[in-house]
Amino acid sequence: MPHYRLYYAPGACSLAPHIALEEIQMAGLADYATTRLLLPAGDQRKSEFLAVNPRGHVPVLGFRLDGQAQTLTENLAILRFLAEQHPQARLWPADALGAARASEWLSWLATDVHAYAFMQVFYPARYAAEAGAQVAVEASGRALLTRYWSDLEARLPSAVLDAGAGEQAYALGAFSVVDAYLIAFYRWAKRYGFAPHERYPRWTALTQRTLARESVRRAFAEERISLDDPLPARPAPTLFQENAA
């Protein structure tokens, strides 16, 4: 049976592959272990982890394939790889258009939403040294995210609002890795004050349906997170200090 190791940080974007691995394990297709990193403690910059992923990011997936040890980074690649290795878990649409839609969602979430907009909100000090400029960077990220959330809400099918729709009422119809990724963003949106539970009924209904899955509850429990976790204190190193480190 395949065995994986997931390097994750609680509530980070690594939550998506964590949920995917739970789905795969619960279907009896593989098992996995985890290594937990605490980002505020700087675990991602420690030499043990940089030896695994010199980019200093989670998620990382470790596994053996054809006798070779592999480490795979990047959510989009990891989610697609897991889904393709375990088609019986049905985490990725089988038809060509559905598959393209899955890539469309994951790519947009990883690049525009995460790398472009959220990073400005998470780490304004990485973009500007001066405090006033950092406020402007964060405001820019927040304005982008507000636009993106409306786009996201409009793209979700109205069927997600139908409490009786059951297993066919996820972002792409059936449950997929897209839903596993979306719930991580919903939690961030909530923590960072975007009040998705008040403003985005489709995204909220989708999140509740996703959260009701056993795999998702297990991943949340192992990461010791909830949708209501408060915002952590922010270390906010300056650009100058980061460069000097």
Ligand X SMILES: N[C@@H](CCC(=O)N[C@@H](CS)C(=O)NCC(=O)O)C(=O)O
Single residue of 75, 207, 210, 215 touching ligand X by CB under 6 A:
75
Given a contact cutoff of 8 angstroms between Cβ atoms, the answer to whether 107 and 76 are in contact is: yes
Given a contact cutoff of 8 angstroms between Cβ atoms, the answer to whether 109 and 102 are in contact is: no
Least Cα distance to 178 among 23, 6, 2 occurs for 23
Tell me whether residue 111 or residue 168 sits nearer to ligand X (CB atom).
Answer: 111
Single residue of 44, 120, 176, 210 touching ligand X by CB under 6 A:
44
As a whole number of Å, the CA-based R_g of the chain is: 18
Q: What's the min distance (Å) between Cβ of 162 and ligand X?
A: 31
Given a contact cutoff of 8 angstroms between Cβ atoms, the answer to whether 159 and 187 are in contact is: no
What residues between 3 and 32 interact with ligand X by CB under 6 A? Answer: 9, 12-13
Contact between 80 and ligand X by CB under 6 A: the answer reads no
* Beta bridge partner(s), residue 174: 172
What is the contact mask toward ligand X in residues 176 to 195, using x (rule: CB under 6 A)? --------------------
Distance of alpha carbon 4 from alpha carbon 65, whole angstroms: 10
Tell me whether residue 107 or residue 150 sits nearer to ligand X (CB atom).
Answer: 107
Q: What's the min distance (Å) between Cβ of 118 and ligand X?
A: 8
Q: Which stretch binds ligand X (CB under 6 A): 51-59, 97-105, 142-150, 163-171?
A: 51-59
Tell me whether residue 169 or residue 176 sits nearer to ligand X (CB atom).
Answer: 176
Distance of alpha carbon 214 from alpha carbon 101, whole angstroms: 25
3-state SS, residue 174: strand
Contact between 58 and ligand X by CB under 6 A: the answer reads yes
Q: Which residue has the tokens 């559905």?
A: 98
Tell me whether residue 110 or residue 169 sits nearer to ligand X (CB atom).
Answer: 110
Which residue type is seen at 143? A
Contact between 2 and ligand X by CB under 6 A: the answer reads no
What residues between 218 and 237 interact with ligand X by CB under 6 A? Answer: none
Tell me whether residue 176 or residue 202 sits nearer to ligand X (CB atom).
Answer: 176
Q: What's the min distance (Å) between Cβ of 178 and ligand X?
A: 14
Token couple for 53? 């992923």
Q: Strand 68-73 to strand 60-65: parallel, antiparallel, or no bridges (unpaired)?
A: antiparallel
Number of helices (H) and strands (E) in the chain: give both, helices first: 11, 4
What is the contact mask toward ligand X in residues 110 to 129, using x (rule: CB under 6 A)? x----x--------------
How many residues sit close enough to ligand X to count as binding (CB under 6 A)? 13
Given a contact cutoff of 8 angstroms between Cβ atoms, the answer to whether 121 and 231 are in contact is: no
Q: Where on the chain is the footprint of ligand X (CB under 6 A)?
A: 9, 12-13, 39, 44, 56-59, 74-75, 110, 115
